[in-house]
Structure 1
Amino acid sequence: MEKITDLKTITAEYFQQFLGFLPDLLGAILWLVIGWWLIKLVIGYLKKFFDNKGHDPALTKFLLNLANGALVVLLLISVVGMLGIETTSFIAILGAAGLAIGLALQGSLSNFAGGVLILLLKPFKLGDWIEVNGISGSVKDISMFYTRLNTFGNQLAIIPNGELSNENIVNYSAENTRRDAITIGISYDSNIKVAKDVLLELLKEQENILEDPAPAVVVTELADSSVNLSVRFWAKIEDFWDCHWYTIEEAKTRLEAAGISIPFPQRDVHFFNHSKESATE
């Protein structure tokens, strides 16, 4: 009977404690629901603000994720405080856990830091054609840890941001115009002036080649088998490759029509009759 009485007493005590704790629990749950709704509301306003200001989509996405994570952590800490748990110890535990995770994920943190630098310094943006470490492609997505490129062959290249932020990057889309320099070799017997006139005429008749800076054809090298001419012109980014391919094809056709030969590597071979020389001696 004494055990039953003790059990009833303990149950009653715990029930009283639960009733005393119940308002705090209900208040914490209510605040969690309201806080979650407020976070969604704030993130929505921030998204509209960034969209109206015309910020880079990748930077907007990064900032929204960062703000959402910070607000969620603050909400959880406040909820824990409402439940009567000491928040200082809770924050200390989070800090220790964060340090341990940081040491275990040094590479990922390096990628995260690289992503922050890329989004802030903006060496490239979505849609730019870049080249890094021998990989070239159009920037498809910039996340916090990786940058995705869509290559010429329509393959997806995933590059860690830590590596990307520390390597040399060539951004082919950063400027509105681009200069080309096509090397064309002609034979030593050909007339250089005639070849230059033919190539200059080819450049000037193309509407997509810019007049300023003016196109030019210059002699760049007296090579082993040819006199090398450099065909130089400027064009807008969207017209560059069309002008490049057309110029190469038409240059060969028109030079041959003008009697200018485009040589291929060749060698002169001399034969000596050593047996005849030996007989004379």
Structure 2
Amino acid sequence: MEQQASEVILATQAALSQASQLAVQYSFSIVGALLLLILGWTLASALSGWALTGLRHVRGIDETLASFFANVLRYALLLLVFVTVLGQFGVQTASIIAAIGAAGLAIGLALQGTLQNIAAGIMLLVLRPFRVGEYIETSTLSGVVLEIGLFATELKTPDGLYRLAPNSTLWNVPITNFSRMPTRRFELKIGIGYDDDVELAEKIMRGHAEGDRRVLSTPKVETFVSELNDTSVVVGMRYWTQAPDFWPVSREIIRQVRQSLKDNGLKSGPNS
């Protein structure tokens, strides 16, 4: 019994000694890991903040895009810190990096459509084919841009409806931006009879355009005979306005020209 008690005491002492050695050994690792975490977290936050501030001062960089790049930098640094901390405890970081890479590949394949929208959103924010407040049109949709996000773009249609368009559908198609250029040209074509006075029709049309202060003097208002068809002589007119005045001016001049042609005995009809 005494021999067994001695063996238990010796085993206990050996276990306590080994535990104390392990505690001393890993205490340094734990302290180092905590210091790395604190330092890495602070450094990642500082660098992402500096990156965000710097990107905000770069011309053409959208706020959403600046925040995205700053967050990517921050989480990349935090991931590096996490791998480094695991290395402090003897974990094979090469296998961790390989596992992270495999997981990233699997996630990328699973979220292929989403990542495509993100890539398209980044390109839209960098190249800026349209901005918030501009009216755009594609083969499938049209509307005023409300917000450009990383995944989708919000629009308000001409009839007042809300539409959410995935960015990939806006990046891979031709886009017509009706608000980007400061001026626009309007072309009016009206058919008159073969017996009507073409010069009088041109004078009437030109007079209404030149008499509107919203019509630009340069380039000058241009009138011409556009074509001759079976039923009428098509008289055309071109003039330029500021982009916001395009629709109000065109509608008013169409109404005025039609009434003036009627008052002067010129019959306006189909232009083709």
Q: Does 1:111 align with 2:117?
A: yes
- Residue 55 of structure 1 pairs with residue 77 of structure 2: no
Query: Partner of 1:21 in structure 2?
Result: 26
Q: Equivalences for 1:242-261 in 2 at 5 Å?
A: 242-261=248-267
Q: SS in structure 1 opposite 2:136?
A: strand
1:147 aligns with 2:184: no
TM-superposition CA deviations, 1:152-210 (whole Å, max 9, x none): 23333222222322211112233222111133333444322111111101111122211
Matches within 5 A, 1:118-267: 118-263=124-269
Q: Letter of the aligned partner of 1:182 in structure 2?
A: L
> 3-state SS of the aligned residue for 2:268?
coil
For residues 3 and 107 of structure 1, the distance between their equivalents in structure 2, rounded to whole angstroms, comes to: 65
What does the per-residue CA deviation read over 1:220-270, in whole Å, with 9 as the maximum and x for residues that have no partner? 2334544333331112222222222222222222222222222369xxxxx
In the alignment, is the contact (CA less than 8 A) between 2:49 and 2:70 conserved in 1?
A: no
Q: Secondary structure at the match of 1:210?
A: coil
Alignment of 1:2-81 (within 5 A): 17-18=22-23, 20-57=25-62, 58-81=64-87
Q: Structure 1 stretch 92-101 or stretch 148-157: which is displaced more?
A: 148-157
Q: CA deviation at 1:3?
A: 9.5
- The residue matched to 2:239 in structure 1 has which SS? strand
Distance 1:48 1:5, change over 3 A: same
Provide the TM-score with structure 2 as the length reference: 0.81
Q: Is the 8 A contact 2:194 2:233 kept in 1?
A: yes
What is the root-mean-square deviation of aligned Cα atoms in Å? 3.1
Q: Deviations over 1:44-70 (max 9, x none)?
A: 222322333443324434433433333
SS in 1 for 2:160: coil
Provide structure 1 residue ranges, at least 5 long, that are not aligned to the other structure.
266-281
Q: Distance in 1 between matches of 2:91 and 2:218?
A: 72
Residue 204 of structure 2 aligns with an amino acid whose one-letter code is: V
- Relative to 1, partners in 2 of residues 1:208 and 1:67: Cα closer, same or farther, differing over 3 Å? farther
Q: How many residues align?
A: 265
The equivalent of 2:107 in structure 1 is 101
Tell me which residue corresponds to 1:279: none
Shift of residue 19 of structure 1? 5.0
TM-score when normalising by structure 1:
0.79
Deviation at 1:94, TM superposition (A): 0.6
Unaligned stretches of 5+ residues in structure 2: 1-6
Q: Distance in 2 between matches of 1:5 and 1:185?
A: 115
Amino acid at match of 1:22: S
**Matched AA of 1:112:** I
CA–CA distance in structure 2, aligned partners of residues 98 and 159 of structure 1: 26
C-alpha distance in 1 between matches for 2:10 and 2:198 = 116
Report percent identity of matched pairs.
Answer: 33
Does the 8 Å contact 1:62/1:143 carry over to 2? no
TM-superposed deviation, 1:92: 0.4
Matches of 1:183 and 1:142, distance apart in 2 = 38
Q: Is the 8 A contact 2:190 2:269 kept in 1?
A: no
Distance 1:99 1:221, change over 3 A: same
Please give the per-residue CA displacement for 1:60-103, whole angstroms capped at 9, x wherever unaligned. Answer: 34433433333333333333333432221111001111111222
